[in-house]
Structure 1
Amino acid sequence: MLAAARRTTPSVAAAACRGCAHRTHASVAAASAVQVEVVCWGSDASSHRNHTHSSSTAARWQLPLQRQRQRQRRYASCLSTVVGSSRHQPRLWRQAARSVSTSSAAGVPDGHTPSTPARGRRFATETATSTDKDGDPRSRSTSSGILSDITVYSKYARYLPSESRREVWSEIVERNKTMHLQKFPDLHDDIISAYELVHNKLVLPSMRSLQFAGGAVAVNNVRMFNCSFLPITTTSAFSELMFLLLSGTGAGFSVQQQHISQLPRVRQPHRGTVATHAHVHNIDDSIEGWADAARVLLDTYLPDDGVPRVPVKFDYSAIRPKGSPIITAGGRAPGPEPLREALEASEAILARAADNTRLSPLDVHDIVCHLATCVASGGVRRSALISLFSPEDAGMAAAKSGEWWERNSQRAMANNSAVLDRAHVTEAQFMELWQHVRASNSGEPGIYLTNSTEWGTNPCCEIALEPFQFCNLTEMNVSAVSSQQELDTLARCAAFIGTLQASYTDFHYLRPEWAETTRRSSLLGVGMTGIASGAVMRLDLSRAAHAAVDENARVSAAIGISTADRVTTVKPAGTTSLVLGTSSGVHPWHAEHYIRRMRVNKQESLYPYLLERCPALIEDDVMSTNTTAVVSFPQRAPPGATLRSESALHLLDRVHRLHDTWIRGGHRRGVNTNNVSTTVSVREHEWDGVGAWMWHNRDAYNGLCVLPYSGHTYKQAPFEECSKATYDELMTHITAIDLREVKEDQDGTSLQLTLACAGPDSCEL
């Protein structure tokens, strides 16, 4: 249980330079009543009106002119590309003093004294200076900046018809910020201040919300959330999964025996002698229409009343052709063919089942995976699902054995894990499964530990989820955090934005349970990435977690929602680390010097632009010479960073410490805590030790992705270690880019095909 703590801290006035987030503070007299804690980067409207500052206090907020100019130059090099307009140049935050005297009803651990705001310390990222410490005239931030910009361009930018181009980072952030400002005008100053840190890539909102903020979220609040979980107990579960995936939300689902046994029995439809005996279902050209098609198919074979139905025939004529523009969500339509193939493959499974029998867990699993393939069309072949099954289920355990990708390629859509109840699993049972994991050489089936087999998780396993619940992620860039105040401020900011996100629960199409559960728990997932870059592990992570808990309580009360059951997590952060230029989540840097590769479609306007700007870094993809190019980015880990050469047990020790401090510090309610999502690469001599660690420390994690360590590389691998000489040579070919110069006659984005939660293999490897 978390107990409420009451304390009083001095009132503080804060200001910060936008470019480097340097802040100074001056104590001022509180002129308003005691109130719940506020963050140092925000300002409360009432206290703003009530406080008056002397000219001497105001002067202390100002940076000397020379230092301002220095930081303007540094900020420009941070971005490494000219992506913003003049209004996004560094400027002082226009903040007034605010009272931080508090009377928190949040529920915080006994003896916890919330931290005070950061004082006199800028939030410097690894890209904060124009030269590296060893004097390299071209900072690695330039290469990382280009990699960041291309990632943003490909995965998060919307098309701007009036400009004939895609958004750049500053415009994406403004679109996201505007969405919250319109919904919460009373929090205007707090939102403005928080989004200064987003602009500077110190804090990130939900990456899903960055993609879809605006009209797409307004018409479908599901698009706010990264992932979800539900058990397969009714035919509605299939259509809801389809709807979730089409909305861009990843999903965990359960085919455990206690869940799929609740499905109706299979009743084979009456087969007439003429086609007119079939029921014709016209599929509407919308994500709801596609999801309805899945429900109609399942209802045909699994009738609730047990009475056989007539066959169903689908009419696809209303679905727009492949390549047609999608106005609200952006991108282009995949056409009817992916849906047709998914429904036909699903019906083949249903049709071969014996009448009046029950579907097996593997049958249910395969139907879900087939439905997922029509979402992951257009060349995007990534897992968006995790399938949780009973440990005694031999069929599911062997789902990815042999050459499964040739006979059942749809199974690539899901990662599979056996569910073990911590209170009842024996060491012998655990080790038997562990040997299967080791023998598979693929990390599957995985092991998911829980205190309730009714609960589940998202594909990356960082969030513990009740049935019919969404996860809600934000991220802190801790790569260069060196003080407790900095860390606490980032935690508050991420919790503030996450709490706003938690209020978007106007769900349509889904059963009422979804909104009820999501509103009751109002989950947050305040994560951190860049952990292996700096000194964050030497700071008080419990205190930072409590700062996030406090801020969630303050903002929840202000906007009228429940406090979050769970607040903190660590996600894989494979893509967000590219945006931020950091290591991924808890994971180490690949090497001191290495090459990071990204693939680019030659048909996109980005390709000729990059070919002109940095031709020495681009080559044809050896596997797809005519259609795909590979861009190579030289990368360097910060001095003293943790590298991939660390042992598996060293990484697991970091996981344990994060769980005990950051995860548990942010846990209010629920039978399961959140998790540190981790991919553990195990060398041949480490398997026994890792297995023993996982058994003896099973309370310190829910699920881990465990793979054999691979020291070999292959041509054009995503990561490749290189020498300093190679790094230096490649850096000479780096030049600044401005992606506003990339013009497109029509919308070429494919955001609706980029799934939010892609599992640990896709996120990290």
Structure 2
Amino acid sequence: MNVMQMSGLADLSSYPTTIPGISFGEAAAAAQLLDPGMGVAVARRTVFRPEDAECFGRVADRVATGNMSLLKPPLTGAERTERARLRNAIASGALITSGRHLQHGDADQAGRNMELFTNCATAITSFAKFYLLLNGSGVGRSYDDELVVVDWADAPDILLHLDPTHPDFPADRPELNVTAIPPAAIIHRVDDSREGWGKALELIEGLAFAKRHDAVVLLDFSAVRREGAPIAGMQGRPASGPISLIRGFINLRDNVIAPSRLRDRAGLALQPWEQALLVDHFFSMEVQVGGARRAARMATKSWRDPGIFRFIRAKSEGGLWTANNSVVVDREFWALVGEGCSDSVLAAQAIAVFNDATECGYKNGEPGFINGDMLDDHRTGRAWDKPVFADGRDFRSNRYQADFGADLLAALAQCAQSARFPAITNPCGEIVLHATGGYCVIADFAPLLACPIPPENIVPGFASDAVIADWDARVEDSVRLGVRFLMRANRMNALYGEEVRRTNRIGIGPTGLHEWAWMRFGLGFDDLLDETAAAPFYCMLEALSDAAKDEADRYACELGMIAPFTVTTVKPAGTTSKLFGLTEGAHLPARKQYLRWVQFRGTRDAAGNWSADSDPLLAQYAARGYQVRGLTSFPGMAIVGFPTLPRIQRLGIGDRAVTASDATPAQQFAWLRLLERHWIGAERGNQVSYTLKFDTSRHSLAEFRAIVLENQPTIRCCAILPGNPDDLMGYEYLPEEDMTLDAFIAMVNSIEDPGLHEAVDTAHLQCASGACPM
């Protein structure tokens, strides 16, 4: 009997893996239904196209077709079989992939660039970061002194021109019509595209690196389309126009270059790393204009750098709000802090950094800590092996080719070969990436949704042997199919094509872990913290981790690619989890039962009658018995309260449910350690993306520091978000409001809405809580 059988799991040791997915079959299967309400709303906003007709099965059709199109056409018989199985795995929800793939995947995928399908990236220059942000990537950057070589004081003088006949020419800025152009000026016409915008900043940054402060550059923005014009590549969303981009360069010229030239070069202020942080902040603000792009950023800096204290307070006191900040530390840092003796310069630095960072973190959650020496590429040494290219090929695709910045990229790659921390993470923390550039190529699998029958029809932890065998096989198939799915995505044309070929990095990870643990194994969160009692769960996780890495090796050999440097991860999984009402990634449910408040336009007069311009749904909801309230902080708006029951509650977990606010920080850190050990693994693993909620009303700053010092050194990374109970937040309302079980049931019973009663079975809920009615 093998270890899987001893743990009560299906024996998958002899399961065929040449073409995984046999458990899903080839005949098109019915699609998983989206979670009513939130799941449908998220799909309508981010996934569905008109041709999908709000059918997730059609989404699975086009996503599977697009991904398999990345193989050399025509597809072989085996590849067509895999496409059919992949389609069914996606349609079932067992392999949700990621929001990017669900949104953009289709038959034209092979002709597109990889950036469209990657969630996050890293960058080592301001122009690279700007261009990636324009493409919708979240971008991390290291601001270590070792990895910043541009002094913006050496940048050329910048002239900004806009043709006065342009529709957006501002009447109050006549100086934008530059008529006196110096004879030796470099004239650069900014193209009306993301590539054009990125290239303009690349030109200036490249000249700054070359110390061309004696040069003059005129940037002509006249070709940039007017504000509000539709952008075809962004589903017709409105363009921000030339003024937004001009504003970015005005901030660069007036708030970075000019003061950098006047700074005290021996002082700590406005050193090159801080200049870079400012440049990235200013251009990130322009990416966010109109709200069409998220411009998610992360900034990191080594604890050893002299400027670390300015970095720690750059957000809370410096106003640089566009990035989430983390201090990169190592074992020596934690050892010095733990000893608490400032008998050397380095020890004093470590203790001061810890105290300063935790003081800020206790108030607003930043900066966090990343254990740089625990990241896989640092631990194995492969991060220092990245080659140096002198011709800019490490930032080159069919759409963008670095040229002005080629020497800068080569110099930074050379610096990285001897840097203390050549690898960081993406903004969400789940993927290790080279500091000079790399991608998050990631996907979720949802083991609960691999269940061959509706999970609601199973007694938690007591599925039949036949169901268990099929269920476990489908979970493993979803993992193996997901690995292959991601490795095919790595064949796309990419800016970081050289790094993709070098590492073939991917990240496959579970979501809805708590629902799966409950239904498949009968385990609540408290049970999961007992490694012995939860042995079957962790044994299965280890087996799936091994399967993922095994499939990565097999498929790499088949495709003639390098075996992926890293394979396993747990990503935040916000979009994908909401589609099916699952807990997100490794996170605990936020609440057990609650009122979700949704805004509508409308006001009532003194008699209680709705105004003529009010949303007609308000009167309908009020008539059915839903709570409806007018707002004073948002005049003209009202809110409707929708009783909401998370899926894990609908699965009958009852009193064994543990929410993020119920679990102690120590319990949550223990959970992360177990996931790193059994799923991420000692080799070829990324990280667990996790935000630990911390109630400052329960813990003092001293207690917070003790918790961080005890636990943070034991995991690779974890964000900590401080907060207070809802009733102490001081807002007129919060999007979600906790309710007691009795109040929740009473409210549901008072509402006359058959759809609500179908979604929230109060009798079932009472049974799960131990108060089963006769």
Match of 2:225 among 305, 316, 319: 319
Give the superposition deviation at 1:255: 0.8
**What residue number does 1:497 align with?**
482
Deviations 1:53-101 (A, max 9, x none): xxxxxxxxxxxxxxxxxxxxxxxxxxxxxxxxxx8647xxxxxxxxxxx
CA distance in 1, matches of 2:281, 2:469: 45
CA distance 1:197–1:396, shift in 2 (3 Å): same
Letter in 2 for 1:252: G
**What residue number does 2:509 align with?**
527
Q: CA contact under 8 A between 2:155 and 2:257: conserved in structure 1?
A: no
**What residue number does 2:39 align with?**
148
**What residue number does 1:719 align with?**
736
Unpaired runs of at least 5, structure 1: 1-6, 10-23, 49-86, 91-124, 128-140, 232-236, 738-765
Q: Indicate whether 1:547 and 2:515 are aligned.
A: no
Match of 2:111 among 218, 224, 227: 218
CA distance in 2, matches of 1:271, 1:38: 59
For residue 592 of structure 1, give the secondary structure of its aligned residue in structure 2.
Answer: coil
Letter in 2 for 1:642: V
Give the superposition deviation at 1:716: 3.4
Q: Indicate whether 1:445 and 2:336 are aligned.
A: no
Letter in 1 for 2:244: P
Match of 1:290 among 172, 177, 197: 197
Letter in 2 for 1:156: V
Give the superposition deviation at 1:624: 4.4
Give the superposition deviation at 1:250: 0.9
Structure number with bigger Rg: 2
**What residue number does 2:243 align with?**
337
For residue 443 of structure 2, give the secondary structure of its aligned residue in structure 1.
Answer: strand
Q: Indicate whether 1:179 and 2:66 are aligned.
A: yes
Give the superposition deviation at 1:395: 1.6
Q: CA contact under 8 A between 1:495 and 1:526: conserved in structure 2?
A: no
**What residue number does 1:261 align with?**
149
Q: CA contact under 8 A between 2:327 and 2:370: conserved in structure 1?
A: yes
For residue 395 of structure 1, give the secondary structure of its aligned residue in structure 2.
Answer: helix
CA distance in 2, matches of 1:26, 1:662: 17
**What residue number does 1:276 align with?**
181
Give the superposition deviation at 1:387: 0.2
Deviations 1:130-170 (A, max 9, x none): xxxxxxxxxxx8xx422101011112334x3xx7x975533
* Aligned positions, number: 595
Q: CA contact under 8 A between 1:149 and 1:169: conserved in structure 2?
A: no
CA distance 1:659–1:712, shift in 2 (3 Å): same
**What residue number does 1:114 align with?**
none
For residue 229 of structure 1, give the secondary structure of its aligned residue in structure 2.
Answer: strand
**What residue number does 2:93 align with?**
201
TM-score normalised per structure 1: 0.68
Match of 1:384 among 291, 296, 318: 296
Q: CA contact under 8 A between 1:43 and 1:190: conserved in structure 2?
A: no
CA distance in 2, matches of 1:495, 1:204: 13
CA distance in 2, matches of 1:262, 1:589: 45
CA distance 1:548–1:35, shift in 2 (3 Å): closer
Match of 1:435 among 355, 359, 363: 355
For residue 183 of structure 1, give the secondary structure of its aligned residue in structure 2.
Answer: coil
For residue 674 of structure 1, give the secondary structure of its aligned residue in structure 2.
Answer: strand
CA distance in 2, matches of 1:494, 1:335: 44
When the two chains are superposed, the root-mean-square deviation of aligned CA atoms in Å is: 4.0
Unpaired runs of at least 5, structure 2: 5-9, 161-177, 341-348, 379-420, 452-460, 462-467, 522-527, 529-533, 603-613, 757-774
CA distance in 1, matches of 2:36, 2:601: 20
Bigger drift between 289-298 and 613-622 goes to 613-622
**What residue number does 2:559 align with?**
559
Q: CA contact under 8 A between 1:614 and 1:733: conserved in structure 2?
A: no
Q: CA contact under 8 A between 2:593 and 2:738: conserved in structure 1?
A: yes
Q: CA contact under 8 A between 2:143 and 2:299: conserved in structure 1?
A: yes
Superposition map of 1:329-728 within 5 A: 331-348=237-254, 349-354=256-261, 359-379=271-291, 384-391=296-303, 392=305, 393-402=308-317, 404=318, 408=319, 411-423=320-332, 425=334, 426-427=336-337, 428=340, 432-440=352-360, 441-451=363-373, 452=378, 453-467=421-435, 468-479=437-448, 486=471, 489-505=474-490, 510=495, 514-533=496-515, 534-535=517-518, 537=528, 538=534, 539=537, 540=539, 541-597=541-597, 616=626, 623-625=633-635, 632=642, 634-636=644-646, 637-638=648-649, 639=653, 640-643=656-659, 644-664=661-681, 667-668=683-684, 673-683=686-696, 684-685=698-699, 691-698=705-712, 700-713=714-727, 714-728=731-745
Q: Indicate whether 1:243 and 2:131 are aligned.
A: yes
CA distance in 2, matches of 1:280, 1:286: 18
Q: CA contact under 8 A between 1:153 and 1:168: conserved in structure 2?
A: no
CA distance in 2, matches of 1:35, 1:591: 40
Give the superposition deviation at 1:690: 5.6
Give the superposition deviation at 1:485: 6.7
Bigger drift between 324-333 and 555-564 goes to 324-333
CA distance in 1, matches of 2:548, 2:283: 38
Q: CA contact under 8 A between 1:37 and 1:551: conserved in structure 2?
A: no
CA distance in 1, matches of 2:741, 2:560: 54
CA distance 1:27–1:472, shift in 2 (3 Å): closer
Bigger drift between 284-293 and 260-269 goes to 260-269
Give the superposition deviation at 1:706: 1.3
CA distance in 2, matches of 1:251, 1:26: 39
Give the superposition deviation at 1:531: 2.4
Give the superposition deviation at 1:568: 1.3
For residue 370 of structure 2, give the secondary structure of its aligned residue in structure 1.
Answer: strand
CA distance in 1, matches of 2:231, 2:542: 48
CA distance in 2, matches of 1:333, 1:271: 23
Letter in 2 for 1:229: T
Letter in 1 for 2:90: V
Q: Indicate whether 1:157 and 2:56 are aligned.
A: no
Q: CA contact under 8 A between 1:599 and 1:628: conserved in structure 2?
A: yes
CA distance 1:653–1:583, shift in 2 (3 Å): same
TM-score normalised per structure 2: 0.68
Q: CA contact under 8 A between 1:433 and 1:447: conserved in structure 2?
A: no
**What residue number does 1:63 align with?**
none
